[in-house]
Chain A
Amino acid sequence: MLYFSRWKALAIVAFCAVICLMAAPSLLPQSTFDALPHALQRKIVLGLDLQGGSYIVLQVAQADVRKGRLEQLRDDARGALREARIGYSGLAIQGNAVQVTIRDGQDAAGAYQKLRGLAQPIGGMVAQSGQLDTDVTQNGNVITLTPTEAGINARTIQAVSQSIEIVRKRIDQLGTTEPSIQRQGSDRIQVQVPGLQDPSRLKALLGQTAKLSFRLVDTSMNPQQALQGRPPAGTEVLYSQGEPKVPYVIEQHVLVAGEDLIDAQPSFDPNTREPVVTFRFNGNGARRFAEATQANVGRPFAIVLDNQVISAPVIREPITGGSGQISGSFTVQQANDLAILLRAGALPVPLQVVEERTVGPGLGADSIRAGILASIVGALLVAGFMIATYGLFGVVAVVAVAVNVGMILGLLAMLGATLTLPGIAGIVLTVGIAVDSNVLIYERIREEARAGRSAISAIDAGFSRALSTILDSNITTFIAAAVLFYIGSGPVRGFAITFGIGIITTVFTAFTLTRLMVAMWVRARRPQHVPI
């Protein structure tokens, strides 16, 4: 147990030193860090609880995905039946399905074939499973189209992927540093923005679907009448943004939609000095908008955002240039945000904020101070006690523990792991537990010496017997840390990481470094007595 070849000894020391040195880039100032070769640019990331910032979890509501899918199925069914010239009645969404009654019993089989064609394999053309996203069933003249659970799930996952892209675009516009946007589970998006103190603007930006459309206003009926009775066919009543809410009768037909925008910028109206948003259409949008405005000079049209009328100007002349401006008595910030939303595009489904955690920079700095103070005091107390108890061997233990902490930090930097306040607590606890391996070894050595062995033989036996105990006891603790890593998130996961890494480095140093140091001492001194 006590013999090390020169190469092995060198390898152990070099390995420990390299791992510890991996932590060094984290201590450098940012400018020096940036000058390092790329391979060395790995540093410990401070958790939001230490550096301050906002953590937000957004959720795609499956109900919205289902609703969107049902509406789409209804419209597709209408299109398919019309195309095949099959008479039908009562096409509507019924609970979780779309139902339609075929007028003529003889057409029913043909209609069933047509509607079956609407079911798509899940996962597009490359699908392996052969599962369809819609069940189509026929019962006499009634045909029912039911979206399958698997189909809805696939769509939810797709909606999350699309939303992540749009969320990223929107956040990038805010100019914050290093936001992290990740999928969480099947239907959530986790957003972390370091340094953000008040996420209300961010939440407002992410909480809007931002579906923009240009539609004509129906002036054939007074909005008040439409509210009391029924709006004309093909129209709906929408309200204006802001207070007081003014109702408008708006055609459902969309002239141009937000997808056809290629740019949007905040600016000021040269006449009124009011903040406005100027935009440009792509070729397709410009052409359609030109046609529509040409045909409807003198009529008002509405700019609708998420079912709210932003403004409803009258078309004075055809707009053929493919650009325009939206005015709606905005503040500068509102104009800015609207431009961001329009540039980034619409979300496929609405997102809900289900969790928010924000830490201000003051608390973060306090936590860092508290963490450092607790670490230093804890380390000094433990080191003092160990040296008082074991003397020279205590010094060996303290060196081992110091290397241990260095290696934890080095591994954290290598993994790019996040250090949180509970994570610092994990390191302090590791200091407490790492010395335990030394205690186990030393006490065993003492016992063996008391049993009458010579000093060298006692030390040798102490190591070999204690190491199996160290392994057993640490594996169980490691299992607890692994479970914690798996179930935890944020700060708690930070604790699991440092605690888990700490256990590994503890076992490693006990098997190598501590043993090496004691072996060197034995070789140098040839002791007759065990000094503990």
Chain B
Amino acid sequence: MRLLRIVPDDTHFDFMRFRRISFPISALLSIVALVAFATMGLNFGIDFKGGTLLEVRYPNNTLNIGEVRSKLEGLNFGEVQIQQIGTDGEVLIRVAQQPGGEAAQQAVVGTIRTTLGDQVEYRRVEVVGPRVSQELLSYGIIGLMLAVVAILIYLWFRFEWQFALGASIANFHDIVLTIGFMSIFQIDFDLTSVAALLTILGYSLNDTIVIYDRIRELLRRYKKMPIDELLNQSVNSTLSRSVITHVTVTLALLSLVLFGGRAIHSFSVTMMFGVVLVGTYTSIFIASPLLIYLGVNTRAMEEAAAKDAAKDAARSKAARAERTAG
């Protein structure tokens, strides 16, 4: 059987030269993302904004969206979004947070239930009070920052500081672009979006680390090789793996987007963007060439290794002194 081979053996693409294009593109995209975020904001779901969400279904084509609209708009709940979803008589109703504390939010569901009656199927009801929504938002933000810091510390221990810094800049770039994407397409931003962002972070790093691992290996092996060439060789020799993994993850995500259901649709779409479009690009075109600017070269590696060796020597000397003293 002839096996499928997407990337030919022994590629010699000059990825490092491409940085003269990829860096400005990324800078531009980041600015676009930030501008979108600043002007359009995120489409916060009720997790973070508070309020009420109902998903109801009118059985057997009894849905009259206009009637639902006029009924609900007569209730004076302020901003009410009514959106027909699918073709099965399903309606998504969103009511903004009401003034008057926790009890006022609870009253909304009761009123809507009485207004729409028992003939409809209540598929989903969510009410998030002002206090909880505020907490969830701060937990989400704290969680994202915590993850970045924890990963940074791990990388700093496992690699040199230049790698940790390079990975976190790449990381930050991924998050900014994904948030920009969610802002431009006004994708629901809720708790599952934070989950998506964290997973994107994990994936993108995973990719970056595979390449960094190779760079570290080659730095030890080829002490004389110019850094551009060394980075290029690292990316080229892991290219086949990058592409194949990219395909498998894309296939898994594709089935989630197509068949995973509406409840996780925004999660899947965000992941698709973050992992498939951004993550791999970042590892190859941003994270790796960044190392040139961060001063990674064989000499730095040797110095670091020498420092470690010196530290070890000092430690064993101290231990020996202690033993003789004792």
Interface residues of A (CB under 8 A from B): 49, 57, 59, 197-198, 200, 203, 352-360, 362-363, 366-367, 369-371, 373-375, 377-378, 381-382, 385-386, 388-391, 421-422, 424-425, 428-429, 431-433, 435-436, 439-440, 443, 446-447, 450, 465, 468-469, 472-481, 483-484, 486-492, 495-496, 499, 532
One of B126, B248, B267 near A358 (C-beta < 8 A): B126
| Residue B253 is within 8 A (CB to CB) of chain A in the complex | yes
| Residue B325 is within 8 A (CB to CB) of chain A in the complex | no
Contact bitstring B184-204, A, C-beta under 8 A = 1, else 0: 000000011011001101110
One of A352, A358, A378, A389 near B102 (C-beta < 8 A): A352
The reply to whether A359 and B124 form a contact with Cβ atoms under 8 Å apart is yes
List 10 A–B pairs whose Cβ atoms lie within 8 Å, in order of A's numbering.
A197-B122, A374-B260, A377-B255, A389-B6, A422-B264, A422-B267, A433-B249, A479-B150, A492-B191, A499-B199
What is the CA–CA distance of A481 and B202 in the complex, to the nearest angstrom? 8
With a CB–CB cut-off of 8 A, which chain A residues contact B207? 473
Q: With A352-B103, A358-B126, A476-B155 in contact, is A425–B256 under 8 Å at CB?
A: yes
The reply to whether A479 and B3 form a contact with Cβ atoms under 8 Å apart is no
Contact bitstring B2-14, A, C-beta under 8 A = 1, else 0: 0111100110000
With a CB–CB cut-off of 8 A, which chain A residues contact B140? 487
The reply to whether B256 and A374 form a contact with Cβ atoms under 8 Å apart is yes
The reply to whether B142 and A377 form a contact with Cβ atoms under 8 Å apart is no
The reply to whether A432 and B251 form a contact with Cβ atoms under 8 Å apart is yes
| Residue B240 is within 8 A (CB to CB) of chain A in the complex | yes
What is the CA–CA distance of A86 and B312 in the complex, to the nearest angstrom? 76
With a CB–CB cut-off of 8 A, which chain B residues contact A486? 143, 146
| Residue B31 is within 8 A (CB to CB) of chain A in the complex | no
What is the CA–CA distance of A367 and B150 in the complex, to the nearest angstrom? 34
| Residue B23 is within 8 A (CB to CB) of chain A in the complex | no
The reply to whether B146 and A483 form a contact with Cβ atoms under 8 Å apart is yes
| Residue B113 is within 8 A (CB to CB) of chain A in the complex | yes
Stretch in B35-43, B69-77, B128-136, B289-297 touching the partner? B128-136
Which are the 6 A-B pairs with shortest beta-carbon distances? A370-B261, A432-B252, A487-B143, A480-B202, A378-B255, A477-B202
One of B6, B127, B192, B259 near A370 (C-beta < 8 A): B259
Q: With A200-B110, A477-B202 in contact, is A378–B251 under 8 Å at CB?
A: yes
Q: With A421-B261, A436-B248 in contact, is A354–B129 under 8 Å at CB?
A: yes
| Chain B facing A: main interface SS | helix
With a CB–CB cut-off of 8 A, which chain A residues contact B158? 472
With a CB–CB cut-off of 8 A, which chain A residues contact B229? none
With a CB–CB cut-off of 8 A, which chain A residues contact B96? none
The reply to whether A358 and B124 form a contact with Cβ atoms under 8 Å apart is yes
With a CB–CB cut-off of 8 A, which chain A residues contact B241? 436, 439-440, 443
The reply to whether A439 and B263 form a contact with Cβ atoms under 8 Å apart is no
What is the CA–CA distance of A161 and B209 in the complex, to the nearest angstrom? 47
Specify the chain B residue showing the minimal Cβ separation from A369. Answer: B261
One of B55, B198, B251, B267 near A483 (C-beta < 8 A): B198
The reply to whether A479 and B199 form a contact with Cβ atoms under 8 Å apart is no
With a CB–CB cut-off of 8 A, which chain B residues contact A440? 210, 241, 245
**Contacting residues of chain B (164-212) with chain A, CB-CB under 8 angstroms:** 191-192, 194-195, 198-199, 201-203, 205-207, 209-210
With a CB–CB cut-off of 8 A, which chain B residues contact A480? 147, 151, 198-199, 201-202, 205
With a CB–CB cut-off of 8 A, which chain B residues contact A424? 260
With a CB–CB cut-off of 8 A, which chain A residues contact B195? 422, 484, 488, 492, 495-496
Q: With A197-B122, A382-B248, A443-B240 in contact, is A479–B261 under 8 Å at CB?
A: no
Q: With A371-B260, A435-B248 in contact, is A356–B125 under 8 Å at CB?
A: yes
The reply to whether A425 and B264 form a contact with Cβ atoms under 8 Å apart is yes
What is the CA–CA distance of A487 and B147 in the complex, to the nearest angstrom? 11
Q: With A439-B241, A468-B213, A483-B143 in contact, is A476–B205 under 8 Å at CB?
A: yes
The reply to whether B249 and A432 form a contact with Cβ atoms under 8 Å apart is yes
The reply to whether A355 and B259 form a contact with Cβ atoms under 8 Å apart is no
The reply to whether A355 and B264 form a contact with Cβ atoms under 8 Å apart is no
With a CB–CB cut-off of 8 A, which chain A residues contact B10? 450
The reply to whether A425 and B131 form a contact with Cβ atoms under 8 Å apart is no
| Chain A facing B: main interface SS | helix
Q: With A371-B260, A479-B151, A480-B201 in contact, is A443–B244 under 8 Å at CB?
A: yes
With a CB–CB cut-off of 8 A, which chain B residues contact A356? 106, 109, 125-127
What is the CA–CA distance of A447 and B237 in the complex, to the nearest angstrom? 8
The reply to whether A355 and B146 form a contact with Cβ atoms under 8 Å apart is no
The reply to whether A362 and B151 form a contact with Cβ atoms under 8 Å apart is no
One of B124, B154, B202, B249 near A363 (C-beta < 8 A): B124
The reply to whether A389 and B147 form a contact with Cβ atoms under 8 Å apart is no
The reply to whether B192 and A492 form a contact with Cβ atoms under 8 Å apart is yes
With a CB–CB cut-off of 8 A, which chain B residues contact A484? 143, 147, 194-195, 198-199
With a CB–CB cut-off of 8 A, which chain B residues contact A439? 241, 244-245, 248
One of A198, A374, A476, A490 near B255 (C-beta < 8 A): A374
The reply to whether B123 and A363 form a contact with Cβ atoms under 8 Å apart is yes
What is the CA–CA distance of A418 and B237 in the complex, to the nearest angstrom? 41
A317 vs chain B, min Cβ distance (A): 43
Q: With A421-B264, A422-B264 in contact, is A428–B252 under 8 Å at CB?
A: yes
Contact bitstring B215-229, A, C-beta under 8 A = 1, else 0: 001000000000000
The reply to whether A386 and B248 form a contact with Cβ atoms under 8 Å apart is yes
What is the CA–CA distance of A367 and B264 in the complex, to the nearest angstrom? 9
With a CB–CB cut-off of 8 A, which chain A residues contact B213? 468-469, 472-473
Known: A446-B240, A487-B194. 4 other contacts (CB 8 A): A354-B102, A388-B4, A428-B255, A491-B191
With a CB–CB cut-off of 8 A, which chain B residues contact A465? 217
Specify the chain B residue showing the minimal Cβ separation from A388. Answer: B4
What is the CA–CA distance of A497 and B119 in the complex, to the nearest angstrom? 38
Specify the chain B residue showing the minimal Cβ separation from A469. Answer: B213
The reply to whether A377 and B258 form a contact with Cβ atoms under 8 Å apart is yes
The reply to whether B252 and A381 form a contact with Cβ atoms under 8 Å apart is yes
A359 vs chain B, min Cβ distance (A): 5
The reply to whether B123 and A479 form a contact with Cβ atoms under 8 Å apart is no
What is the CA–CA distance of A381 and B102 in the complex, to the nearest angstrom? 47
What is the CA–CA distance of A59 and B132 in the complex, to the nearest angstrom? 10
The reply to whether A382 and B192 form a contact with Cβ atoms under 8 Å apart is no
| Residue B288 is within 8 A (CB to CB) of chain A in the complex | no
One of B122, B143, B245, B271 near A198 (C-beta < 8 A): B122
What is the CA–CA distance of A375 and B147 in the complex, to the nearest angstrom? 28
Contact bitstring B237-280, A, C-beta under 8 A = 1, else 0: 11011001101110111111011110110011001000000000
The reply to whether B203 and A477 form a contact with Cβ atoms under 8 Å apart is yes
What is the CA–CA distance of A391 and B237 in the complex, to the nearest angstrom? 21
With a CB–CB cut-off of 8 A, which chain A residues contact B113? 198, 200
The reply to whether B253 and A432 form a contact with Cβ atoms under 8 Å apart is yes
The reply to whether B248 and A385 form a contact with Cβ atoms under 8 Å apart is yes
What is the CA–CA distance of A496 and B192 in the complex, to the nearest angstrom? 11
What is the CA–CA distance of A429 and B279 in the complex, to the nearest angstrom? 15
What is the CA–CA distance of A200 and B207 in the complex, to the nearest angstrom? 48
With a CB–CB cut-off of 8 A, which chain B residues contact A354? 102, 129, 131-132
| Residue B49 is within 8 A (CB to CB) of chain A in the complex | no
| Residue B308 is within 8 A (CB to CB) of chain A in the complex | no
With a CB–CB cut-off of 8 A, which chain B residues contact A468? 213
The reply to whether B255 and A359 form a contact with Cβ atoms under 8 Å apart is no
The reply to whether B131 and A59 form a contact with Cβ atoms under 8 Å apart is yes
With a CB–CB cut-off of 8 A, which chain A residues contact B201? 480
What is the CA–CA distance of A359 and B57 in the complex, to the nearest angstrom? 13
